[in-house]
Amino acid sequence: MVHPGKPRMKTTISIIKADVGSCPGHAVVHPELIKIAEEALKKSDLLIDFHVTNCGDDLELIMTHNRGVDSDKIHQLAWNTFEKAAEKAKEMKLYGAGQDLLKDAFSGNIRGMGPGIAEMEFTERKSEPVVAFLMDKTEPGAFNLPIFRMFADPFNTAGLVIDPAFHDGFQFEVWDILEHKRVMMSCPEEMYDLLALIGAKSRYVIKRVYPKEGGKLPLDEPVAVVSTEKLSFIAGEYVGKDDPVGIVRSQSGLPALGEVLEPFAFPHLVSGWMRGSHNGPIMPVGQKNAKCTRFDGPPRIVALGFQCSNGKLHGPVDLFDDIAFDRARKTALKIADYMRRHGPFEPHRLPLGDMEYTTLPKVLKKFEGKFVDID
């Protein structure tokens, strides 16, 4: 149901990202590719505003427009931009040039073609603070814990307890990315059911969060969205990690900016480190430290804050580039040491089921026929 009243001039934020080549190895996007992407987006008359950046080896296009989600024109623009950057990456022999562009030709929607997409269309409030979250060396389920804590955990978000505007909680849209099905769950009533699903983060992922009756926000407009593309499901084999992105709106009837950032004071364990095959802590970093070095990681997250004004993006403010997250980074490094000492052993290495889409099955093939029955 949509609240009646003012005419709606909606804004769409689209973050579309892809790894189209990096330098050296899978560490960082080369500045030359960022320049090419900026030039391509600048030339387009489709956008209100944009910001091009990177998280590790992922080229991130943060765009605003009035065309709604799944616009073929916006998707085409992103695809063409990635193609241009990939062309340069190939010319420079950058590593993994064109890696995430899994299909040859664009066919109307970028979903299922390799890049990751988080998009939301909404009616801008009097003031609209938004945070773009960018992760590298992990999978979409890495957002489950922090998004749950922002919108459902009263120990994280004081507003759930003391702000009447969202004391009734939020609705969660959860996707089963294996079966390609979705379910809506309402918190706090169905909190334990929600956790029963999203604790299994390699299969059930929070796709969107919606407000509930009682607040001032339109009920059909999301307040958070996460990219859920799984590269291995598209390609049928390991081709790099999904490295998801998310968009979260905040304040005035939503979790405050500080409540949105608070979950990252705890560097939780995520999957996707080294060869997409290891668990490790996700480390909140400023953009200048969004480069994957040690054991191709550890997995990282960047948070860019904007004030969105009629589609114009004021910012970004590099939110984790702050001493308040120093301790989280130190803890992440301590956990990284501890996890690394397990070497090839689980639970540092992913459980066998999750290794199915890595290069390990090719190695295990060697033993087929060598096993004999135990009497």
Binding map of Mg ion across residues 53-72, x = CB under 5 A, - = no contact? ---xxx--------------
Catalytic residue list contains 212: no
Residue 249: what residue type?
Answer: R
Catalytic residue list contains 318: no
* Beta carbon of residue 152, minimum distance to Mg ion (angstroms, whole number): 28
C-alpha pair distances (Å), 347 with each of 205, 278, 279, 295: 21, 8, 7, 16
Q: Do 210 and 152 form a contact (C-beta atoms < 8 A)?
A: no
The smaller minimum CB distance to ligand F6R, of residues 241 and 291, is found at: 241
Stretch touching ligand F6R by CB under 6 A, among 111-119, 120-128, 269-277, 326-334: 269-277
Q: Does 137 participate in binding ligand F6R (rule CB under 6 A)?
A: yes
* Beta carbon of residue 138, minimum distance to Mg ion (angstroms, whole number): 9
Q: What angle separates helix 144-152 from helix 191-198, to the nearest 10 degrees? A: 170
Strand, helix or coil for residue 15:
strand
Which structure tokens are listed for 147? Answer: 């998004």
The smaller minimum CB distance to ligand F6R, of residues 169 and 280, is found at: 280
Choosing from 238, 242, 318, 354, which is the catalytic residue? 238
DSSP assigned state of 140: G
Q: Which H helix or E strand runs over 249?
A: strand 245-249
* Beta carbon of residue 137, minimum distance to ligand F6R (angstroms, whole number): 5
# residues contacting ligand F6R (CB under 6 A): 9
Considering only residues 21 through 50, tell me which ones interact with ligand F6R, judged by CB under 6 A.
25-26
C-alpha pair distances (Å), 39 with each of 16, 55, 84: 16, 19, 10
Report how far Cα 150 is from the mean position of its chain's Cα atoms: 15
The smaller minimum CB distance to ligand F6R, of residues 214 and 351, is found at: 351
Q: Does 19 participate in binding Mg ion (rule CB under 5 A)?
A: yes
List contacts with Mg ion (CB under 5 A): 19, 22, 26, 56-58, 96, 136, 243
Active-site residue list: 19, 238, 241
